[in-house]
Amino acid sequence: NLVSYFRGLVQPIELPPVAISGVGVTFGKWTPNLAVTVVAVYPPSDEGGQASASVLVRDWRICDEVAALKLTAEVEKWARSQVEDTIATRISSRDATGINSHGNLSALGDFALPFEQSLGSWANATSFMNDMLEFGDAALKTLPKEGRPLVLICSDCKNVHCSWALGSFGETTRADVPISVLDLSGLDGEGPASTLPMNLSGNSSTSMRDLCHSTGGYLMDSATLEAAGVTKIGSNIDESSPLYSLQDHHYLGVAKKRSLRPNLLQWLTLFSLSPFSLASGQTPSIHHQQNSTNRFDSLSSMFSSIGGGGHQAEGSLSDPIYTQKSGDELFVDSNRWDNSIFVGRYVLEPVRIKSLLMTRILEGYRAKKYGAATHDNDKVSIIFTRRLAELGLTLHYEIYFVSSPFHSPFVGTASVQLLLSGDRELILLTKNMFKAEKTLHASAQASSAERVSKFLRWTKKQDLLDSFLCTPGWAQNVELDSDFVVKVQSMTHLQRYRHFRTEHIEVVTVTGNPFETSNSLFSDVMEGNTAVDELFECLAKWSSHCATPESRHTYIKIIESSEHDLIYYCLLRCNPCPKASRLYEITVEFHGEIDPELRLAVRSSLVASLHACDHLIVLEKEISNLIQTRSTCPRSESRGTCVDATSMSPFLQHRFWRLPKDDDVLPLLTKRRIDIGKFFILSTSQDKMIFAKFAQDDGSECSETVIYQVLSTESDLFVDLYMEYSRGLFHQLRAGSSPFYLKYQNVKRRDKNCGTNLIARRNLLKLIDGVSMLPVTEAGLCEDTLRIVKCSSSSTSTLLKFFDRTSHLANEMLSRYLVDFIVSDHFTTPSAKLPTCYSLAGKKGIWLVMRVDWYVLSIAVLEDDDDSEGIQDDEQPNRRLSFFTAGIIDLYKSDGDFAEADSTTCDEENFGVCTLVDIIQHAHARKYSLSCFHALQKDVLPMSSVDVDFVEDPLTFHEVLNVLVELDDISSHLNDNTSTITGTKLGSVIERLLGVVPGSNASMFFYKGHKVGEGLATSEGSDVSQAPIFFKFMLDSRLASMEDILALQKTVTVTALVSNFGVSDDLSPCHLEAVERLERSLNAFASERILDKLRFKGRTLAKCDFELIQQNIQATHNLTMEVPCEFFVARANALIAANNPSGSESDINYCFVVLLQMLKSSELTIVAREDAFLLLVDNEVGVLPYWCFAELDQSNGTIRLIVHHPLGREYAQEILTKAEHLVKGIVKISNQQLLLIAAYKSKS
């Protein structure tokens, strides 16, 4: 049947010959161009459920037989596969009794029913015509608006619940859309029974035929369809033809001769135009000034174009079918029209006749007769009829219109008469109910009469409303609190559709870039919609009045009109879309016969004003009806959510996927959709985002709407992707190369990678923050790191100098110190070491993660292998430090987006990584010096060479001590590089504390007094405490090497300089200790040189010499001993310890006087000062081989011995022992002297 249908429609139509000046008579053919959308509608599967549908193709163009055959072949293949699969699935969800099992889908063998098996409740399955028409209306929205709309239903006409015409069209906005049905049941009158697999009862063809006829459509079976496709209009039809009954049909006009001769199928389908059209006459502008003679010519020209059913209507403006009468006599006698019965009459004043006629056309009326009651051009009469086949009635709507002499010719007074023809009993009952405005009986006939009377009363009410809408007053008299404004606002959606011509505009409010207006990266996504004020301000400025100042949703625009005309106006209503908070629906409703050009000009003016707003996006087409919502539904199969289907759902390609729950997923997807995908936000909330864009495929002139939605639930995220079916593609959801499928696969893959990448980022942030990561394994952490590396949009590397390959310890220390610095608090960027990662992305080394800022992560790797690029053999090697930086927006990438880092330092800032590189480079120089110092201290694997310049680069040397080394000038007797005894000794003193840095030409020394961990901590502290301890020396203000020191040949001032970071001269305790030890050693060395010089004076030492000796001997390496003294006290007649006199203090003082006299008189002593003596334990003569002093400490009762021997401690210890015996002997002699004095005194 479909093959015959489309073949018949696309047959070329011969055009009548046209005479062209200079060319002659031309002939031609016109081939209809069809746009077809194919939908399968399934009845509700459960009681109280909703019908569903599936789409084969949208906007398939048929302009020849090849395209028609292609479509029919695809329909057949689709019906036998997908449609039958869907039916089988629906059957399998029920058991043999028809009770829903709610189980899993069974295999085909499980639900395949025997032919004789009862189908249970499926035998009474009912389809609803309203469902079919609803999906048909939705399908028409997918087709070009410039085409003639038609809904074709292919059905077996079994068990189809078909409501009566007034129920289907009188109370809906569906109008002027012919409904046609192809009967596939195989029934033709008394023909054979249906051959369909399910032999369902209940023939609905009669009610469906009535419904088709009431809309200007038709119902055809196979035979009629075949005949209609080959029969030309105006042909003689044989009595045996299925078309014979149609030849005298007034509305079809099959037998009437015409110059344009399409076939009957084309005539019924393509030429069933609305009877009200301005195509044959041009209506002058309403602002045109007309004189008294032609003032009503435009009224006549308008009605000259009114026809019915696509043919010239009978009658004309001059037909004398009316006579000028008054009152009831204004109307034609009711008996003239098929014995019609008068029901009611009312007068409309004022009324715009064009608006009234358009309202009747939209309600399904067609012009039966039109003419004039007189020869006056200002009076017109029209008769409309509407057939109610299911009730056997015909409605007659008669208008007598008189133009007002004070207004436009299209404004005046209309007398309306309502009549009914058909079943007389039903008509009389309807008339009584219409007058009484209530139900008088409770029978079935009374119910039908009630429905008709209700419709007639509704018609009268709407006519009076139309008259009221003509009188808002003059432009200066429209008041916001008037009854007109209040009543207009209270109009229903259906009333607005009947009385206004409506233009729809949709706008989206935006707030600029939502990620650059707040301290938090994503906070503004959830901020309030501040652009709404700009929208309402624009509407208020464009309109004349705001009808609702509080809500600012309704406005009135006064349109310029002539001074003698009623005002033209439009109502503007702006309301937020209930499904999308940032989408606003603007409807502009025009009343009256405003010229289409003027109406479009007003619309364009409004659109231009909206375009001028900075924070508004005017959409190129409506998308509010395409928004599908996903809501929480605990019982759904989608684990907690379900999609609320609408009539447009089948015409949208839909796929969804889940993403892991993360706080940053929704903001990141939002930013990605806006900045990269060029979507605009339709709705924002804490748990739901809706985006949309218009995508245009390559080679396509039309764009398709793409809607992207994200819903956040307690456990995960649901992402829904919707897109209009692409035009002219079959089975798009199953086509792997369809535009939607490619978009779906790409977006899904990237979204899922984005979710996984965000989890990886979250894990790495936990590592930085020190949060427990028990669920994350070592392998998982490495995988997370690799994901961030692959997502990095910025790759930066720098080269860091290391030691030679043999200096393993130094290189290990340098790597460890650098890593410790990066993960320490001294590195301003929070960082952490990845302990389990070594080899990733083809790189081996130490891996670190850094949080550059709130939304940027950088993965750094300090490679283990030396980079020999550009390095000479005698140069220190380098190691590469690479950074792979990814902002949070970069986490939305595919696995193939990884790029290798370049080998040079970045020339521009990449997320601030260049600043980090500078900080690390600065720290590396210090760590290089520190690791060199510590490695030299370790002295396990001695370093063969060091880049001294690089070691010194972060250091400054501060002068810390000066020591004068006295030496007789012997430079004239020796070469400059000849070592001397003094120089060698000084070198030995220095080498006891310091070591020479390799490669420094023996001019820089490291302090080796403490090993690593013994006083010089290796953990990160302040820069001062971590500075390495290097020394340099100057001889008489000239930088000196060890060779210069060894060749010391004269008295010089030795200056020591110690290293420190920066210019500060504040030294750490370790530095101070090292300086102190060095100072003591050098001072001792200088003092020894002085003592050695004085030894040559022997016993000839003067008092000043002793003072000099006493000053220097303390600085030398000497031995000391405290010798306690015991004295004989006569009163105690016993030896008393000098440190515990116990009341004999005066006697002890006297004993010390005696001891001093004995020391002074001894030949082995030389008085150095009053209480100090130089001891010559071996009674030396000439050069003194050593220094030995005895100092009396009367307060402690001891003699302190100090010995310095130039040959060392062993010799000094020997002299100290001898000195002890000598001093004790002198004390003993002193006690003998005290005993003799006591005996003498006692004798005397």
Contact 587, 504 (CB under 8 A): yes
Backbone angles phi and psi of 368, in degrees to 5: -95, -45
For residue 701, give the DSSP letter. Answer: S
Q: Using CA atoms, how far apart are residues 754 and 677, in angstroms rounded to an integer?
A: 15
The answer to whether the peptide bond before residue 12 is cis (omega within 30 degrees of 0) is no
What is the mean predicted confidence (pLDDT) over 833-852?
A: 84
What is the mean predicted confidence (pLDDT) over 119-123?
A: 43
Burial class (CB in 10 A: 0-12, 13-18, 19+), 465: middle
Contact 960, 1057 (CB under 8 A): yes
Give the model's confidence band at 734: pLDDT under 50 very low, under 70 low, under 90 confident, else very high: low
Q: Using CA atoms, how far apart are residues 926 and 945, in angstroms rounded to an integer?
A: 18
Angle in degrees, 0-180, between the axes of helices 222-230 and 2-9, rounded to the nearest 10: 20
Contact 301, 281 (CB under 8 A): yes
Q: Using CA atoms, how far apart are residues 1231 and 819, in angstroms rounded to an integer?
A: 74
The first and second tokens of residue 127, run together, are: 């389809």
Angle in degrees, 0-180, between the axes of helices 913-938 and 808-822, rounded to the nearest 10: 140
For residue 170, give the DSSP letter. Answer: I
Task: Outline where DSSP puts E strands in 458-615.
Answer: 501-509, 545-546, 554-559, 568-577, 580-590
Q: Map tokens 């936990």 to a residue.
A: 766
Residue 808 has pLDDT above 70, yes or no: yes
> Residue 519 half-sphere exposure, CB side, CA atoms within 13 Å?
0
DSSP reduced 3-state for 950: helix
The first and second tokens of residue 601, run together, are: 């000009």
Q: Using CA atoms, how far apart are residues 1025 and 495, in angstroms rounded to an integer?
A: 88
Q: Using CA atoms, how far apart are residues 1078 and 796, in angstroms rounded to an integer?
A: 46
pLDDT of amino acid 1031: 93
- How many CB atoms neighbour CB 521 within 10 A? 20
Residue 786 has pLDDT above 80, yes or no: yes
- How many CB atoms neighbour CB 1019 within 10 A? 9
Single out the residue of 821, 895, 884, 818 nearest to residue 852, CA to CA.
884
Share of the chain above pLDDT 90, in %: 9
What is the mean predicted confidence (pLDDT) over 723-730?
A: 84
For residue 628, which amino acid is it?
Answer: Q
The first and second tokens of residue 104, run together, are: 């899993």
Residue 1207 has pLDDT above 50, yes or no: yes
Contact 934, 909 (CB under 8 A): no
Burial class (CB in 10 A: 0-12, 13-18, 19+), 337: middle
Q: Using CA atoms, how far apart are residues 352 and 470, in angstroms rounded to an integer?
A: 7
Residue 896 has pLDDT above 50, yes or no: no
Residue 326 has pLDDT above 50, yes or no: no
Share of the chain above pLDDT 70, in %: 76
Give the model's confidence band at 609: pLDDT under 50 very low, under 70 low, under 90 confident, else very high: very high
What are the residues facing 381 on neighbouring strands? 371, 400
Which region holds residue 30: left if phi is over 0, alpha if psi is between -120 and 50, else beta? beta
Angle in degrees, 0-180, between the axes of helices 596-611 and 532-542, rounded to the nearest 10: 140
The string over 641-674, giving b where at least 16 C-beta atoms fall within 10 Å of a residue's C-beta and e elsewhere, is: bebeebbbbbbbbbbbbbbeebebbbbbbbbbbb
For residue 55, which amino acid is it?
Answer: V
What is the mean predicted confidence (pLDDT) over 435-449?
A: 73
Which region holds residue 641: left if phi is over 0, alpha if psi is between -120 and 50, else beta? beta
The string over 977-1016, giving b where at least 16 C-beta atoms fall within 10 Å of a residue's C-beta and e elsewhere, is: eebbebbebbbebbeebbbbbbbbebbbbbbbbeeeeeeb
Does residue 181 or residue 1 have the better pLDDT?
181
Residue 1177 has pLDDT above 70, yes or no: yes
Q: Provide the mean pLDDT of the chain.
A: 76
Q: Using CA atoms, how far apart are residues 1043 and 710, in angstroms rounded to an integer?
A: 79
Q: Using CA atoms, how far apart are residues 151 and 368, in angstroms rounded to an integer?
A: 25
The first and second tokens of residue 1001, run together, are: 């030409």
Which of the residue ranges 533-537, 856-860, 896-900 would you say has the lowest mean pLDDT?
896-900
Residue 1032 has pLDDT above 90, yes or no: yes
The residue count for the chain: 1244
Does residue 136 or residue 520 have the better pLDDT?
136
What is the mean predicted confidence (pLDDT) over 682-688?
A: 81
Contact 269, 8 (CB under 8 A): no
Task: Give per-residue pLDDT as tens, 220-269.
Answer: 888 888 888 888 877 777 777 777 776 655 445 555 666 778 888 888 88
Which residues have C-beta within 8 Å of that of residue 75, sequence separation ≥ 6? Answer: 2, 38, 56
Chain mean position to CA 448: 59
Backbone angles phi and psi of 632, in degrees to 5: -70, 135
The first and second tokens of residue 565, run together, are: 């005309």
Task: Give per-residue pLDDT as tens, 89-114.
Answer: 777 765 444 444 444 333 333 333 33
Chain mean position to CA 1030: 55
Q: Are strands 127-128 and 52-62 parallel, antiparallel or unpaired?
A: unpaired
Task: Outline where DSSP puts E strands in 121-278.
Answer: 127-128, 151-155, 160-161, 179-183, 219-220
pLDDT of amino acid 970: 67
Q: Using CA atoms, how far apart are residues 1228 and 852, in angstroms rounded to an integer?
A: 84
Backbone angles phi and psi of 415, in degrees to 5: -100, 125
Residue 626 has pLDDT above 60, yes or no: yes
DSSP reduced 3-state for 429: helix
pLDDT of amino acid 508: 92
Q: Using CA atoms, how far apart are residues 1217 and 1211, in angstroms rounded to an integer?
A: 10
Q: Using CA atoms, how far apart are residues 434 and 428, in angstroms rounded to an integer?
A: 10
Single out the residue of 817, 764, 813 nearest to residue 787, CA to CA.
764
Backbone angles phi and psi of 660, in degrees to 5: -65, 150
Q: Using CA atoms, how far apart are residues 897 and 793, in angstroms rounded to an integer?
A: 8
Give the model's confidence band at 333: pLDDT under 50 very low, under 70 low, under 90 confident, else very high: very low
What are the residues facing 60 on neighbouring strands? 36
The first and second tokens of residue 721, run together, are: 């992707």
Give the model's confidence band at 965: pLDDT under 50 very low, under 70 low, under 90 confident, else very high: confident
Contact 377, 297 (CB under 8 A): yes
> Residue 379 half-sphere exposure, CB side, CA atoms within 13 Å?
16
What are the residues facing 472 on neighbouring strands? none
Residue 961 has pLDDT above 80, yes or no: yes
Q: Using CA atoms, how far apart are residues 1238 and 630, in angstroms rounded to an integer?
A: 124
pLDDT of amino acid 320: 30
pLDDT of amino acid 222: 84
Task: Give per-residue pLDDT as tens, 979-1024.
Answer: 888 888 888 888 888 989 888 888 999 998 755 444 444 444 444 4
